Structure 1
Amino acid sequence: MSTRLIHTLEEVGALLDIGIALSAEKDHDCLLDRIVTEARRITSADAGTLYLCEGDQLVFKIIHNETMNVFAGGKGEPVTLPPVPMRPENVSAYTALKREVVNIADVYQAEGFDFSGPKRYDQMTGYRTGSMLVLPLENHESDIIGVLQLINAKDSEGKVIPFAPYLEKVVTSLASQAAISMTNRRLLEDIEQLFNSFVEVMATAIDAQTPYNANHTRRVAQLAGALARAINETKEGPWATELFDEQRLKQLIMSAWLHDIGKITTPLAVMNKATRLGDRREIVLLRLDSIASALRRDYLEAKLVALEKGVPAEQERVEAEWNDAWAEWQRIREMIVAADDPAGRITPEIVQVLQSLSERTYVDAEGKRQTWLTAAEVEALSVFRGTLTEEERRQMEGHVEVTERLLAKVPFPPKMANVPRWAAMHHEHLDGKGYPQRLSGDAIPVEARILSLVDVYDALTASDRPYKKAMPVEDALRILGFMVKDGKLDEGLFRIFCDQRVWEMIE
């Protein structure tokens, strides 16, 4: 077998290996760098540049120069050279515009192109640009997505020589594989970005349903990511060996973005309930005004009768009863207004008075007998903590189960398979008293523990919650500490959260 045939078979094998390697490369920057590296290797080129088409110009992405020890772009130092305009006098632009391979034996002897750039570089650095091979990167849809430029092919002794004509086909094959790999990688990145954007839009839309929750999901996602990165920096403690690589971090952040997706079915009246009465507050106040009118009407009728009788003692009795009734009405109204405020303290005595008002009646303007308060209103005003009744709390807590059901229908790829499970566990507590599954201890993965901690932190410190003012960080951390002592939150994560001041890492 001839040496030439052996060399050809080696090149074919190398192209196959390169094709496999390019297809397997998952990082876009590494892919671009790999293309230049392999093209230089297969052609013995001293230097190489990869441009990508962006609008009407070619943008430098990778620059290699072995002699000058320059390796810019990709994961290395950024390329600071200005883009190349799409003008045919520039050889790289010509290649893109004409879809032609250009093979130049010696730049200094060539005509038809403007090589002032390479020559100026040579003068500045002492480099000598000689041979050049420039190829378009054409993908499977016949789109030119970039240009590959190779400089100074070398023989076995390191002498600069022209690029052999047969290398045009070899590198064209490589360029075609590279273009397809780049297009596929970009397509995958576009799909991932599209999905991520859709998730963010959905989460933002759900948060926007209530003015009291406008940025919650975004903050939880930011805090979860920041805490995971802080774990990576931890050198001691129970989570010192835990590592969140890029993919695991993406899964966690996606879980955070989707953790409240189930609130799409939660009634807005429940989500927006800023006071104990919620949207019934104005109805109750109007009813109290109606009761005041009825009391005043009864008083005036009684006063008229007393005046007609002309008995002073009767008149005094009517006035005294009116003063007592009016004072009582004022006390009851003040008590109801105070009880409606979620910051107001509800005592058993207040609950007793409220219950009596559900049995006390008055005659409205239409002559119908009505109670001062309905049973539902008494229940709402009797809530000891927060603004939600037991039924409303069940509706609110039900969003977790809805989250799990909705996400179970999404065909997440294997690398994101844990998203539904983690998102649905953000209200589980280590002591087994969370919801919905009452999981405990080791049954709760670290990702769910992270979500639980940052979700509570944001609930405490957020300035857009209906039932409380924003809590200072110090007070929030103290409450989180109590939850840790009660066995609800993870102590190791809480310590990392505090020690590295994770809340300061987000926007």
Structure 2
Amino acid sequence: MRRRYPLHLHISTLFLGLILVVCAVLGGIGYKLSRDLLEASASDLTTRIGRQALAEMQHLIEPAEMATRLLSLQRLTGASSLSERLDSLEFLRQALDSSAALSSLYVGYANGDFFLFGRIGHGSESEASRVPAGATYVVQSIENTAGDVRGHFLYFDAALRKLRDDLRPDYAAAYDPRQRPWYTQGLASSTQIKTPPYLFFSSGKVGTTLANRAADGRSVVGADILLHTLGQTLAGQKATPGSQMVLVNSQGYALAHEEHSRLLLSSVASDGRPSLARIDQLGVPALVPLLETVRNMAGTATRTLRVEAGGSIWRASVSPLRLEGVPPLYLVAAIPEDELMAGALKLIHHSALATLAVLLCTIPLTWLLARSISRSLGSLANEAEAIRHFEFSQPINVESSIKEVGQLALTMDQMKRTIRRFLDISHAVAAEQNFDRLLPRLLGDTLSASAAHAGVLYLAEGQQLNPAVALSADGSPLAGRLPSLTLTACGPLLDAALAAGAARAAPLEPGDRSRLGFAAAELPDLSHAIAVPLLNRQAELVGAMLLLCATATDDSRLSFVQALSGAAAVSLESKALIKAQKDLFEAFIQLIAAAIDAKSPYTGGHCARVPELTKMLARAACAADSGPYRDFQLSEDDWEAVHVAAWLHDCGKVTTPEYVVDKATKLETIHDRLHEVRTRFEVLKRDAQIACLQAIANGDNAQSARQRLAVEWQQIDDDFAFVAACNEGGEYMPPESIDRLQAIARRTWLRTLDDRIGISQEEKLRKAATPAATLPVVEPLLADRPEHRIARPARDGLADDDPRGFRMPVPALLYNRGELYNLSVGRGTLSEEERYKINEHIVQTLIMLWQLPFPRHLKHVPDIAGGHHEKMDGSGYPRRLRGDEMNPLARMMAIADIFEALTAIDRPYKKGKTLSEAIAIMSRMQQEQHIDADLFALFLRSGVYLDYARAFMRPEQIDAVDIDRVLGRR
């Protein structure tokens, strides 16, 4: 039985075979025509380039010829003095500017006078060094008056303003125009003469001279044309980058080339002057064979030839350049054949690629076309399979000449679009994290999906529906303020939908428009509406949507809106719960921060101000368009992390005892123990008084006894005043003060009362460590007693290899309340143990934050909050992180924490510093690598410090700051 094949295979084979035959025929014809065209165009192109170059040369020289003829008729030729000749400068400038090849115009007189007007830059190098700044033109003058020969060089700017007049006797002595060839030949000829190209006397450059005898026959006008300008013109005529063009004379000597340095041979002629190079001495292999061609030209028409040199094929042409009055010159052009034909070869290559691309594109298109003709039903089956797998990325575009197949394809496409739109809206709503942005997104997507023209989203609160968002179909907010609705009086349509718990569509009555507030909102005249209740998983009302349409809503659209509203309600409920949790979390954060600030007046409003300053600096870093932070940006999640970390950066202070934070004197604990010490001094004074009275009673001289008492009392008062002064604390405690304290401490007093009654159980336990003394007992005036030493619990210690990374030296004792020990504190009022307790708040901050189950986007909160006491050089605490190990936001918070502490005005123990004082301190800190120098510079240059000062500091604190001086002009 004969094997059968599908129709689409027959169609594909026929079309592909036909395409292959047509492409093969067209490709063969195109290749042959392109090859013939390239061979013909190569010769034509070299000839055309020669003609264009010849025309350009003639175009440059002809204005110079005309300028020379006109100048021979001017009064300048008869002027007898320099001043008269200078009157013609404007004419000379215009004549000089008429040709780019013209370098100078001059007149030689019968009496030996000479007047030249030329451009600056065409003289010798020695002359160029004498030119004043701003000079554009030069006048060279020789005047011969009664045997007195004077030479002048006059320099002028572009506006012909004289800049300088140099007297040049050397020039006048060395130059006589009457002896120059151009003068003798021009004087002898009634027509314009041209000299063969030669090296100019003044500049050592190749050029030619034009000359005309003046009308009165007593002077000769000349013009110099530098052939290096022709070299520039030749360079502009190059057909390809590797082309070579050179102007030669009939002997083959090169007169103009794009590289002027090639024209002069390094060796010199017999007269000591440089000589011109021949065409075969230019260092271009392709030009060497053309020397004989040039010599054999004899003024004939352009000749083209093919040259092989240096392993390459060149297309060359030699064109005569016929100039009146001089032997013929020749323009030689040589073009590499591979460059000349590169464009055509590229065209052939592209044509072949295009043909291949057409084939590659045609094969699948032909195959798809054949399959679409014969298998439209199969395509619909595939589309149904895609829908079953939830693949909705492509619409159904199946077309068929069969009516039923076309209708089926249209119905399936509409079904696919509906499902895809439903899923897209559900995914978009579920992905939106911000509750305030979710509401307009939810309403806008519903309007788009339902083809409604406007709508309002209400949120349920108690027995009311409050309008949250009102939008038109283009996404713009509706004008006016819509009223809240009572659940029992929302209008017939919305009441019916709420009662049924399902979407309802009906014409919108005029009374409903007024009751719902649509008239005030200036909505278009829309006559139909869809009311959609939003119910959560427990079938509780969380809100409602009212959609306005211009026409009645069909059942399919109403069903779609009903299905969409269910998913929207669930998402709305979820996002509302998330928002409520975030709000609660935010309230806890601010509650903790407020409690810390309220706990001690020594912190003031620190926990509330540091977040503001940190965010200000972070915004400045995001806005930076240069410097190390030009690429720094924060996402919405990052900003939330900054906010949480900044508000919780000192949360560990809740564990710091108030009496440590508030300790204002060295002996202060719960109370200031100086009062107890004062009582001991009072006892000493009473003991001294009793001893005095006893001495008098025993017969001593009363006056002497009282004098001794007064001296002793004065000493006791002085000692107590010294102890009280030490108790206040300061920046430095000198060794002699420590010695005096120890001497005072050695004084004794008599205690007659038991010190172990009426005290706390904890203090009794500490005193029980030593046996009780027998009363009365003599004790030192100031003492470091065993019960003053409070042991540190083992859980409070930090190992050297602490797994959390803490690297803080921990004092052996939890507290040392020894009186002499505390009074001997060298700086401030805090002992080593108390200072550690203050610093330990950052350890507790990290421990507390590490224990919180932060979501992924807030996982860096502990590092940000717990790093603001670290330093760039690694000497900070608690983990001794270096700058490159710190989160950039932690470095920002460090600056904010320091600046706020320095300038705060609500601390009872200090006065807030001025801007200049605070910034000077922070400048030293950045020099000592305590804070980030780049961030500190950004803090100043962005003006963050000033914005914060205006918001949180007193006017008298805000003074001028020289930022450049502070930053050392970074």
Q: What TM-score results when the alignment is normalised by the length of structure 1? A: 0.87
Q: Is the 8 A contact 1:63 1:70 kept in 2?
A: no
One-letter amino acid of the counterpart of residue 723, structure 2? I
Q: 1:155 maps to which residue? A: none
Deviation at 1:93, TM superposition (A): 5.4
Q: 1:188 maps to which residue? A: 578
One-letter amino acid of the counterpart of residue 195, structure 1? F
Higher mean C-alpha displacement, 132-141 vs 31-40: 31-40
Counterpart check, 1:31 vs 2:438 = yes
Counterpart check, 1:209 vs 2:599 = yes
SS at match of 2:684: helix
Counterpart check, 1:374 vs 2:796 = no
1:296 to 686, 696, 704: 686
Q: Alignment length, in residue pairs?
A: 486
Counterpart check, 1:252 vs 2:647 = no
Deviation at 1:281, TM superposition (A): 6.0
Q: Distance in 1 between matches of 2:932 and 2:821?
A: 35
Q: Distance in 2 between matches of 1:37 and 1:120?
A: 18
1:399-410 mapped onto 2 (5 Å cutoff)? 399-410=841-852
Deviation at 1:243, TM superposition (A): 1.7
Question: Cα distance 1:107–1:209, how it changes in 2: closer, same or farther (>3 A)?
Answer: closer
One-letter amino acid of the counterpart of residue 178, structure 1? A
Q: 1:12 maps to which residue? A: 419
Deviation at 1:120, TM superposition (A): 6.9
Q: Distance in 1 between matches of 2:910 and 2:824?
A: 17
1:143 to 530, 540, 549: 540
Q: 1:457 maps to which residue? A: 899
Q: Distance in 1 between matches of 2:726 and 2:513?
A: 82
1:130-157, Cα deviation, whole Å (9 max, x unpaired):
22111111122212111111112xxxxx
- Stretches of structure 1 that go unaligned for 5 or more consecutive residues are 153-159
2:569 to 156, 172, 179: 179
One-letter amino acid of the counterpart of residue 65, structure 1? S
Counterpart check, 1:470 vs 2:912 = yes
1:332-351 mapped onto 2 (5 Å cutoff)? 332-343=719-730, 346-351=733-738
Question: Cα distance 1:467–1:256, how it changes in 2: closer, same or farther (>3 A)?
Answer: same
2:876 to 434, 454, 467: 434
Q: Is the 8 A contact 1:203 1:217 kept in 2?
A: yes
1:24-423 mapped onto 2 (5 Å cutoff)? 24-66=431-473, 71-72=476-477, 80-86=481-487, 87-89=489-491, 91-92=493-494, 95-96=497-498, 99-104=501-506, 106-107=507-508, 114-116=512-514, 121=519, 127-152=524-549, 160-279=550-669, 282-309=672-699, 311-312=700-701, 315-343=702-730, 346-366=733-753, 367-375=776-784, 376-423=818-865
One-letter amino acid of the counterpart of residue 504, structure 2? V
Deviation at 1:98, TM superposition (A): 5.2
Q: Distance in 2 between matches of 1:85 and 1:119?
A: 13
Question: Cα distance 1:107–1:192, how it changes in 2: closer, same or farther (>3 A)?
Answer: closer
SS at match of 2:918: helix
Deviation at 1:365, TM superposition (A): 5.0
SS at match of 1:58: strand
One-letter amino acid of the counterpart of residue 403, structure 1? T
One-letter amino acid of the counterpart of residue 855, structure 2? P
One-letter amino acid of the counterpart of residue 11, structure 1? T
Q: Is the 8 A contact 1:62 1:79 kept in 2?
A: no
Q: Is the 8 A contact 2:457 2:544 kept in 1?
A: yes
Question: Cα distance 1:53–1:90, how it changes in 2: closer, same or farther (>3 A)?
Answer: farther
Q: Distance in 2 between matches of 1:198 and 1:119?
A: 39
Question: Cα distance 1:184–1:215, how it changes in 2: closer, same or farther (>3 A)?
Answer: same
One-letter amino acid of the counterpart of residue 388, structure 1? L
One-letter amino acid of the counterpart of residue 60, structure 1? P
- Which structure is richer in relative contact order (CA contacts within 8 A, separation 6 or more)? 1
Deviation at 1:176, TM superposition (A): 0.9
Question: Cα distance 1:505–1:308, how it changes in 2: closer, same or farther (>3 A)?
Answer: closer
Q: Is the 8 A contact 1:294 1:364 kept in 2?
A: no
One-letter amino acid of the counterpart of residue 241, structure 1? D
One-letter amino acid of the counterpart of residue 410, structure 1? L
Q: Distance in 1 between matches of 2:555 and 2:903?
A: 69
Deviation at 1:170, TM superposition (A): 0.8
Q: Is the 8 A contact 2:730 2:826 kept in 1?
A: no
Question: Cα distance 1:212–1:443, how it changes in 2: closer, same or farther (>3 A)?
Answer: same
Q: Distance in 2 between matches of 1:236 and 1:90?
A: 62
Bigger fraction of residues in strand: 2
Q: Distance in 1 between matches of 2:706 and 2:415?
A: 116
Q: Is the 8 A contact 1:63 1:79 kept in 2?
A: no
Higher mean C-alpha displacement, 140-149 vs 333-342: 333-342
One-letter amino acid of the counterpart of residue 487, structure 1? Q
One-letter amino acid of the counterpart of residue 477, structure 1? I
Q: Distance in 2 between matches of 1:205 and 1:118?
A: 46
One-letter amino acid of the counterpart of residue 71, structure 1? S
Q: 2:123 maps to which residue? A: none
Q: Distance in 1 between matches of 2:585 and 2:516?
A: 43
SS at match of 1:71: coil
Question: Cα distance 1:363–1:260, how it changes in 2: closer, same or farther (>3 A)?
Answer: same
Q: What TM-score results when the alignment is normalised by the length of structure 2? A: 0.47
Deviation at 1:2, TM superposition (A): 5.6
- Stretches of structure 2 that go unaligned for 5 or more consecutive residues are 1-407, 754-775, 785-817, 953-970
Q: Distance in 2 between matches of 1:239 and 1:84?
A: 51
Q: Is the 8 A contact 2:493 2:505 kept in 1?
A: no
One-letter amino acid of the counterpart of residue 101, structure 1? A
1:464-499, Cα deviation, whole Å (9 max, x unpaired):
446433333432222122212221112232233332
- Share of identical aligned residues, percent? 28
Q: Distance in 1 between matches of 2:544 and 2:611?
A: 39
SS at match of 2:477: strand
Q: Which has the larger radius of gyration?
A: 2
Deviation at 1:354, TM superposition (A): 1.5
SS at match of 1:121: coil
Question: Cα distance 1:398–1:70, how it changes in 2: closer, same or farther (>3 A)?
Answer: closer
1:481 to 903, 912, 923: 923
Q: Is the 8 A contact 1:223 1:502 kept in 2?
A: no
Q: Distance in 2 between matches of 1:202 and 1:118?
A: 44
Deviation at 1:328, TM superposition (A): 1.6
Q: 1:157 maps to which residue? A: none
Q: 1:156 maps to which residue? A: none
One-letter amino acid of the counterpart of residue 898, structure 2? V
Q: Distance in 1 between matches of 2:625 and 2:463?
A: 50
Q: Is the 8 A contact 1:43 1:167 kept in 2?
A: yes
1:341-388, Cα deviation, whole Å (9 max, x unpaired):
245753332222112233222223544212222232222222233221
Q: Distance in 2 between matches of 1:44 and 1:316?
A: 114
1:84-129, Cα deviation, whole Å (9 max, x unpaired):
343143644553455342211x335x8xx6333579739x958321
